[in-house]
Chain A
């Protein structure tokens, strides 16, 4: 039987009726025992929720390298083990068939993505960065000095043709390297969703 959430709800309704009619076993105790068996032998690894900025602690129960169960981390003082519905559903991201398996490429004018290797993806991106950077480079520009009113030529070192939309969805270390990469290749045009 396919064990869906909706199915479970139906099932528990029926079982409650069965228990009420005095036919047998205590469903609650059985459920608790099943839960314990499921988690037996798991390594518990803390992590952090990936939705709002609460920073609630997650606890991942891992067995043989597989995620068996995910719930709130009772030792995290922010959430003390509680989770909202979004956070509680995060186990469903781990093995989602919707997640692309490898880099994808869509050619100009094409109506589909095709699989490419990481090596090819990085190659194409790096070459395009260089091409656009070289083509749109502005090393100096003429400005009017705000204090003196004089025209002067100043060094600005900008790659005008490259824009970056960074991210509040990645770790600090990644967010920092986004900024560092953008500025090193010469683009001050770096924004992200904090703005909106």
Chain B
């Protein structure tokens, strides 16, 4: 989403779903995996909203749908591309929106090409693209040249039209298995409803084409004018209680908190970083360094920039790569917090191999997980595993104070409800104690390498760390006033180097004497579910992102029933029911700032075509950094517009371009792959409502184990007949990488599909089991495959080839 809109977050909220007229739910079984979504979907349905579900299985969500389409796993881009083609060919797009809030008119470089499955700039040796040709035509000032009309052959709109002309309903049907008439029905139904809402979850992201699938959603929502509106948008239904928060806090290798790009060894000085990334990233980095090093961060010492470890771009392993780096011997110590990789990593045998090479593994969790006990798994010899393991029992959510950020960016605070059980402690205390111990071990050192530890600002209380002090560090302080930052506006207006904040997008959450995450005002005067006085949403308590796009050229709401913001010509101010997501609240709709719908993008518009672009004057390095007014665009590494590729393991060939079967940039980690003659069926893995992710908590809850005691393989009646299996029989599911034995669930929920003229079977398996806990069971990740989306690093859990037989 970030290369399309400038921010990666879910755009609207749970409560806002009641405002939708139509839902396209594809890549999410929210009735089971995000039941709260279904509550609000049903409220919209009661008012007449339509629900479209596209899924490899007839799920519980599908049971609530007006239209259900069963799709072959991993082929979404084919039918979504056909929808884009249909909307363009039949002029079903919102012309005002497309002209004003997207880059449809921007002219693309003549060097841009797409031939036989590859975009221009591909390097087959590195399997990477050079983006140079994915560019705009620029004028003398370096600004993109705009076409006079959408008919200009160079403009983005015409590039889209040409690209998707290959995506007919017929081609899409052959690839996906969805009948032509049904694809047309989906396209018509979704375009007819306004506003339309799209939901996705891991069903869309866990593919080697995951990012490009979401890009299709972005293109559809921009064409139909659904972004920035109540009841519209794209809802990334995120999977863990605080996954939005942990992403904001940059538990990721390429960011610092607040989505600051992580400095690499190419940015030798803070000045280099500023020249490359612009003030838009430089300012929050300085504020972060001030939060981390306090008085020791000064302009003279680059605010401590040299103390940050720098990434080496040629060695930046993502989580799935970590275990290979252990096996190779790079990592000796793994500190693992609330993650159960032994169950959750695809082709999971690599996890035990990696952990066995560590000197020490530290696991902090509520229950003793499979990861902490990896050396106990059947088939391993503990005597030959030299890894020391320390398990730290953690306090549960209601046994500690702190905040979590939900999928819709809402930061909610909670107090301690219950004293921690036994002698367990909050993770915050563990981290505080460990850091202070390490600092004591280095006390008195004069070695420059120990400076980041000894110069750090780390004071959250003398005994037990106080979470409110940490939240206040995130909310930030203003040196000029000597007080906590009151609003994000105050942060944005302050000169560089005069504010400190641990995460700039959270500024305003803790104004002096207050904790806005702890607000409980649940009034909803508009009936739109904005609940503005309940907790605090980043950025700046905005509930619907990009809400400038809900207004017309005069700045007035286009939908009189769903008014979010508007320009008030009397006050000369953007005002409204929601916080205005505008560049400057005082700049009217007749100014360039006041027309900007997507202010985080360098073009200020939504990006149908994800071009390489840097706005502002190209900066020349100087010794003293003044403002560097540049902003770079977010890129998709595998193409500026989405293209369909078959999954890495696929039962058929790519009919669009047989020579380029898979995503040419996909990152492959697994070493064993199967062919359809030996492994003819497509496996898709999923979650069930009773169990959560790797099951570390839910498999220890008796009530849930009673309802959902074990994993199973869900197969069609045709497949059951073919292999001679009845409901409840044990079956062995195998791939080139491994196997497991479970019971068969024979069902109508999965039907045989017709793919490229041939019958194709899909097998579904829940994945939340492992060898430990109250309710152990075999792990589906024995058979899945570690092949990653090249941009996001997300593994293709949702499709691989398997065989199945009676066990």
Which residues of A come within 8 Å of B, CB atoms?
5-6, 45-58, 60, 62, 65, 67, 75-80, 82, 84-86, 89-90, 92-96, 98-111, 113, 116, 118, 121-130, 132, 135-137, 139, 141, 143, 145-146, 152, 154-196
Whole-angstrom CA separation of A143 from B315 in the bound complex: 13
Given the complex, which residues of B lie within 8 Å of A196, measured CB to CB?
206, 319-320, 344-346, 794-795, 797
How far in angstroms is the closest Cβ of chain A from B785? 13
Given the complex, which residues of B lie within 8 Å of A124, measured CB to CB?
360, 388, 390
Does B240 belong to the interface (CB within 8 Å)? yes
Q: Do residues A180 and B367 form an inter-chain contact, with CB atoms below 8 A? A: no
How far in angstroms is the closest Cβ of chain A from B306? 5
Q: Do residues A55 and B438 form an inter-chain contact, with CB atoms below 8 A? A: no
Whole-angstrom CA separation of A106 from B356 in the bound complex: 13
Given the complex, which residues of B lie within 8 Å of A186, measured CB to CB?
309, 449, 452
Given the complex, which residues of B lie within 8 Å of A105, measured CB to CB?
388-391
Which chain B residue lies CB-closest to A187?
B309
Whole-angstrom CA separation of A184 from B292 in the bound complex: 9
How far in angstroms is the closest Cβ of chain B from A96? 6
Whole-angstrom CA separation of A186 from B476 in the bound complex: 24
Given the complex, which residues of B lie within 8 Å of A175, measured CB to CB?
242, 245-246, 249, 251
Given the complex, which residues of B lie within 8 Å of A157, measured CB to CB?
306-310, 449, 452
Q: Do residues B359 and A132 form an inter-chain contact, with CB atoms below 8 A? A: yes
Given the complex, which residues of B lie within 8 Å of A183, measured CB to CB?
256, 292, 308-309, 452
Whole-angstrom CA separation of A84 from B39 in the bound complex: 10
Does B400 belong to the interface (CB within 8 Å)? yes
Task: List 3 A-B pairs, minimum CB-CB distance, nearest first.
Answer: A55-B406, A171-B402, A166-B251
Given the complex, which residues of A lie within 8 Å of B334, measured CB to CB?
162-165
Contact A52 to B36, CB < 8 A, known contacts A67-B418, A176-B474: yes
Contact A47 to B398, CB < 8 A, known contacts A98-B700, A179-B250: yes
Question: Looking at A60, A100, A123, A190, which has the most chain B CB atoms within 10 Å of its CB?
Answer: A100
Does B492 belong to the interface (CB within 8 Å)? no
Q: Could you jot down 18 A-B contacts, CB within 8 Å? A: A98-B367, A103-B390, A111-B376, A125-B335, A127-B441, A129-B434, A157-B449, A157-B452, A158-B309, A166-B337, A171-B402, A171-B403, A172-B245, A175-B246, A176-B470, A185-B452, A192-B251, A193-B240
Contact A191 to B382, CB < 8 A, known contacts A113-B391, A170-B338: no
Complex partner residue of B434 from A107, A122, A162, A172, CB under 8 angstroms: A122
Given the complex, which residues of A lie within 8 Å of B428, measured CB to CB?
171, 173-174, 177
Q: Do residues B249 and A178 form an inter-chain contact, with CB atoms below 8 A? A: yes
Given the complex, which residues of B lie within 8 Å of A171, measured CB to CB?
242, 245, 397, 400, 402-404, 427-428, 467
Whole-angstrom CA separation of A160 from B744 in the bound complex: 46
Does B732 belong to the interface (CB within 8 Å)? no
Given the complex, which residues of A lie within 8 Å of B327, measured CB to CB?
none
Given the complex, which residues of A lie within 8 Å of B698, measured CB to CB?
86, 89
Given the complex, which residues of A lie within 8 Å of B337, measured CB to CB?
164-167, 169-170, 174, 178, 192
Which chain A residue lies CB-closest to B468?
A173
Q: Do residues B431 and A48 form an inter-chain contact, with CB atoms below 8 A? A: no
Q: Do residues B385 and A126 form an inter-chain contact, with CB atoms below 8 A? A: no
Q: Do residues A184 and B453 form an inter-chain contact, with CB atoms below 8 A? A: yes
Q: Do residues B322 and A5 form an inter-chain contact, with CB atoms below 8 A? A: no
Which chain A residue lies CB-closest to B414?
A47
Given the complex, which residues of A lie within 8 Å of B387, measured CB to CB?
106, 108
How far in angstroms is the closest Cβ of chain A from B296? 12
Given the complex, which residues of A lie within 8 Å of B418, measured CB to CB?
45, 60, 62, 65, 67, 94
How far in angstroms is the closest Cβ of chain B from A151? 12
Does B717 belong to the interface (CB within 8 Å)? no
Q: Do residues B36 and A84 form an inter-chain contact, with CB atoms below 8 A? A: yes
Query: Besides the contacts A129-B434, A174-B428, what 18 more A-B pairs have beta carbons closer than 8 Å?
Result: A67-B418, A76-B522, A77-B15, A77-B524, A77-B529, A86-B692, A92-B702, A99-B366, A101-B423, A152-B268, A156-B312, A161-B331, A161-B332, A162-B334, A164-B336, A168-B240, A191-B253, A193-B239
Contact A160 to B701, CB < 8 A, known contacts A105-B389, A129-B438: no
How far in angstroms is the closest Cβ of chain B from A56? 6
Question: Looking at A54, A154, A173, which has the most chain B CB atoms within 10 Å of its CB?
Answer: A173
Q: Do residues A125 and B319 form an inter-chain contact, with CB atoms below 8 A? A: no
Complex partner residue of A48 from B386, B397, B408, CB under 8 angstroms: B397
Q: Do residues B415 and A45 form an inter-chain contact, with CB atoms below 8 A? A: yes
Complex partner residue of A154 from B268, B452, B693, CB under 8 angstroms: B268
Given the complex, which residues of A lie within 8 Å of B335, measured CB to CB?
125, 162-165, 182
Whole-angstrom CA separation of A105 from B341 in the bound complex: 19
Whole-angstrom CA separation of A182 from B362 in the bound complex: 14
Does B707 belong to the interface (CB within 8 Å)? yes
Is the interface on chain B under 10, 10 to 19, 20 to 34, or 35 or more residues?
35 or more
Whole-angstrom CA separation of A106 from B373 in the bound complex: 9
Which chain B residue lies CB-closest to A96?
B700
Whole-angstrom CA separation of A40 from B312 in the bound complex: 60
Q: Do residues B339 and A174 form an inter-chain contact, with CB atoms below 8 A? A: no
How far in angstroms is the closest Cβ of chain A from B454? 10
Whole-angstrom CA separation of A145 from B272 in the bound complex: 12
How far in angstroms is the closest Cβ of chain B from A134? 8
Does B690 belong to the interface (CB within 8 Å)? yes
Q: Do residues A172 and B242 form an inter-chain contact, with CB atoms below 8 A? A: yes
Contact A172 to B402, CB < 8 A, known contacts A45-B415, A51-B241, A165-B334: yes
Whole-angstrom CA separation of A96 from B697 in the bound complex: 10
Given the complex, which residues of A lie within 8 Å of B237, measured CB to CB?
52-53
Given the complex, which residues of B lie within 8 Å of A84, measured CB to CB?
35-36, 689
Whole-angstrom CA separation of A82 from B793 in the bound complex: 35
Given the complex, which residues of B lie within 8 Å of A128, measured CB to CB?
333, 359-360, 388
How far in angstroms is the closest Cβ of chain B from A81? 11
Question: Looking at A107, A128, A136, which has the most chain B CB atoms within 10 Å of its CB?
Answer: A128
Complex partner residue of A156 from B36, B309, B396, B529, CB under 8 angstroms: B309
Does B807 belong to the interface (CB within 8 Å)? no
Whole-angstrom CA separation of A51 from B421 in the bound complex: 20
Q: Do residues A167 and B339 form an inter-chain contact, with CB atoms below 8 A? A: yes
Q: Do residues A194 and B307 form an inter-chain contact, with CB atoms below 8 A? A: no
Which chain B residue lies CB-closest to A107?
B388
Given the complex, which residues of B lie within 8 Å of A154, measured CB to CB?
265, 268, 310
Q: Do residues A189 and B403 form an inter-chain contact, with CB atoms below 8 A? A: no
Given the complex, which residues of A lie within 8 Å of B266, measured CB to CB?
143, 145-146
Given the complex, which residues of A lie within 8 Å of B503, measured CB to CB?
176
Question: Looking at B331, B373, B424, which has the most chain A CB atoms within 10 Å of its CB?
Answer: B331
Q: Do residues A53 and B385 form an inter-chain contact, with CB atoms below 8 A? A: no
Q: Do residues A108 and B388 form an inter-chain contact, with CB atoms below 8 A? A: yes
Contact A174 to B392, CB < 8 A, known contacts A48-B412, A168-B243, A196-B795: no
Given the complex, which residues of A lie within 8 Å of B34, measured CB to CB?
52-54
Whole-angstrom CA separation of A119 from B191 in the bound complex: 62
How far in angstroms is the closest Cβ of chain B from A163? 4
B residues 371-396 with Cβ under 8 Å of A? 372-373, 375-376, 382-394, 396
Q: Do residues A193 and B422 form an inter-chain contact, with CB atoms below 8 A? A: no
Q: Do residues B449 and A177 form an inter-chain contact, with CB atoms below 8 A? A: no
How far in angstroms is the closest Cβ of chain B from A47? 4
Whole-angstrom CA separation of A173 from B397 in the bound complex: 13
Given the complex, which residues of A lie within 8 Å of B316, measured CB to CB?
188
How far in angstroms is the closest Cβ of chain B from A39? 15
Q: Do residues B391 and A167 form an inter-chain contact, with CB atoms below 8 A? A: no
Which chain A residue lies CB-closest to B437?
A126
Q: Do residues B339 and A192 form an inter-chain contact, with CB atoms below 8 A? A: yes
Q: Do residues A100 and B251 form an inter-chain contact, with CB atoms below 8 A? A: no
Q: Do residues B249 and A181 form an inter-chain contact, with CB atoms below 8 A? A: no
Does B526 belong to the interface (CB within 8 Å)? no
How far in angstroms is the closest Cβ of chain A from B373? 8
Q: Do residues B322 and A165 form an inter-chain contact, with CB atoms below 8 A? A: yes
Given the complex, which residues of B lie within 8 Å of A51, measured CB to CB?
241, 692
Complex partner residue of A163 from B333, B419, B522, B689, CB under 8 angstroms: B333
Q: Do residues A99 and B421 form an inter-chain contact, with CB atoms below 8 A? A: yes
Contact A184 to B390, CB < 8 A, known contacts A118-B423, A175-B251, A179-B257: no
Whole-angstrom CA separation of A174 from B691 in the bound complex: 24
Question: Looking at A129, A168, A196, which has the most chain B CB atoms within 10 Å of its CB?
Answer: A196
